[in-house]
Amino acid sequence: MMKPSVKTLATMAAAVAAFAMPVGASAETIKLGLVTTFTTSAGAGGEATKRGVDLALEMLGNKMGGHDIELLVEDDGLKPEIGKQKTDKLILQDRVDFLLGYNYSNVLLASFPSAVENETFIISTNAGPHQLAGDYCNPWFFAVGFQNGQAPAAVGHVLNEAGTKSIYALAPNYAAGKDMVEGVISTFEGEVVGTSMTKWPDQLDFSSELASVRAANPEAVFVFYPPAHALQFVTQYQQAGLKDTIPLYSVYTFDALTIPSIGEPAIGAQMALFWSIDLENEANRTFVEAFRAKYDRNPSNFAATAYDTVMLIDSVVRKLDGDMSDKDAVREALKAADFNSVRGNFRFGNNHFPIHDFYQIEVVQGEDGELTTKIVKKVLSDFQDVYAGNCSMN
């Protein structure tokens, strides 16, 4: 992969910073509190999130609208109770202006009440539990990533278009895993011949579940597993001789974090997602090129949504000239989503979750010989999650 020159990256950073910095802005510091998972088997997603945040801040010249930025980073250790403790610290001790991160739904659900109680904006870069999209939507919460069921619902449409009559679904047994399975079932018109909800996060042996898949003999398998678990599952799927007989459809299982490790078994895997490295818009081209220059690898969706989150916050700071004291004004500026998303088409629904497009994406071998993802076609346009109707916010 050819890296852009340091001069090219510096030019891009200067251009973004110049666009973001109004004349005469004051120098009050904006404090961001990032809570994500750096340790345990789920740490790769946290590192990718941090890289997306760091790149966005670098592209902004480490300022938002002329205001200095202080980034405070905490590791939730994939434990809800620790995530809540770190959230409390950032709110009560560090007095951050915005909380962001939260890669896992169970951690977010445990931390969310503290933010609401203390009237601090909490912005998820990744986790999107259905509870916060529907009955428990809240003025202090925004999701920049997705609602957990959106991408699986798009996969259901892909399966229907392929004429698939039966599927077997697998996911880890925690909040997001349940949302993912429910999402694909909500749109798939065929028969679900079996489901397996595996132990989270300890289970890395899927031999029993794969035996159940073989016995059920579905026309396709739907799976959701985060990075370390994705590698183990796909490797075992091939070793069980299923790759060449039962097509694999997924969400958040194959991306820049997992594909290099999975290797050849990933080729041909189908998925649905709101973003891909080959999505054609100026913001995404800038992001992908800068990420490759800085980290010498392709970005993942973790990094893409983290990058978008920082750019969203920057749009708020610029619009309000750094004055975060009027919370209603901050909320309205967040809702406006007046920034250039790497997704191109992006806006918030009434529940503060994204309304965006979804694409069928395939793992392919690129012209340079490296494995990557490629958009096959758009599946859904301006897709809003099904829980928004249960949200009482306008």
> Would you say 85 and 46 are in contact if contact means Cβ atoms under 8 Å apart?
no
- Residue 9, pLDDT score: 45
Total domain count, the chain:
2
Measure the CA–CA gap between 257 and 324, rounded to whole angstroms: 35
Partners of 222 in beta bridges: 169, 249
Looking at the structure, do residues 206 and 313 belong to the same domain, yes or no? no
CATH code for the domain in which residue 89 is found: 3.40.50.2300
Looking at the structure, do residues 74 and 182 belong to the same domain, yes or no? no
Looking at the structure, do residues 269 and 373 belong to the same domain, yes or no? yes
Looking at the structure, do residues 222 and 99 belong to the same domain, yes or no? no
pLDDT mean by block of 10 residues, the chain; 394 residues: 44 44 53 97 96 98 96 98 98 98 98 98 98 98 98 98 98 97 98 98 96 98 95 96 96 95 94 97 98 97 98 98 97 98 97 98 92 97 98 94
**Would you say residue 389 lies in a domain?**
no
Measure the CA–CA gap between 150 and 279, rounded to whole angstroms: 18
**Would you say residue 252 lies in a domain?**
yes
**Would you say residue 163 lies in a domain?**
yes
Contacts from 234-237 at CB under 8 Å and sequence distance 24+? 234/258, 234/262, 234/265, 234/266, 234/269, 235/262, 235/265, 236/205, 236/206, 236/207, 236/210, 237/206, 237/210, 237/265
Where do we find the tokens 């392929």?
162
Measure the CA–CA gap between 387 and 197, rounded to whole angstroms: 22
Looking at the structure, do residues 176 and 193 belong to the same domain, yes or no? yes
**Would you say residue 225 lies in a domain?**
yes
Measure the CA–CA gap between 75 and 83, rounded to whole angstroms: 7
Partners of 220 in beta bridges: 167
- Residue 211, pLDDT score: 98
Looking at the structure, do residues 88 and 184 belong to the same domain, yes or no? no
Residue 222 has φ and ψ, to the nearest 5°, of: -105, 135
**Would you say residue 353 lies in a domain?**
no
Q: What are the CA-CA distances from residue 329 to residues 66, 318, 320, 354 (Å)?
A: 19, 12, 8, 20
Looking at the structure, do residues 65 and 17 belong to the same domain, yes or no? yes
Measure the CA–CA gap between 155 and 76, rounded to whole angstroms: 30
Q: Note the helical H segments in the chain.
A: 6-20, 43-59, 80-88, 105-117, 130-133, 150-161, 175-187, 207-216, 227-239, 259-262, 282-295, 301-319, 327-336
**Would you say residue 219 lies in a domain?**
yes
- Residue 249, pLDDT score: 98
**Would you say residue 218 lies in a domain?**
yes
Measure the CA–CA gap between 252 and 273, rounded to whole angstroms: 8
- Residue 367, pLDDT score: 85
Estimate the crossing angle of helix 43-59 against helix 282-295, to 10 degrees: 110
**What SS3 class is residue 351?**
coil
Looking at the structure, do residues 216 and 364 belong to the same domain, yes or no? yes
Looking at the structure, do residues 104 and 23 belong to the same domain, yes or no? yes
Measure the CA–CA gap between 299 and 196, rounded to whole angstroms: 30
Looking at the structure, do residues 286 and 240 belong to the same domain, yes or no? no
Residue 137 has φ and ψ, to the nearest 5°, of: -60, 155
Cα separation of the two ends of the chain: 46
**What SS3 class is residue 213?**
helix
This prediction has a pTM of 0.92
CB atoms within 10 A of CB 185: 17
Domain holding 31, by residue range, is 6-146+278-348
Looking at the structure, do residues 43 and 173 belong to the same domain, yes or no? no
Looking at the structure, do residues 133 and 196 belong to the same domain, yes or no? no
**Would you say residue 362 lies in a domain?**
yes
Residue 91 gets the label, from left (phi > 0), alpha (psi -120 to 50) or beta, of: alpha
Amino acid making up residue 362: E
What 3 state SS string does 125-137 have? CCCCCHHHHCCCC
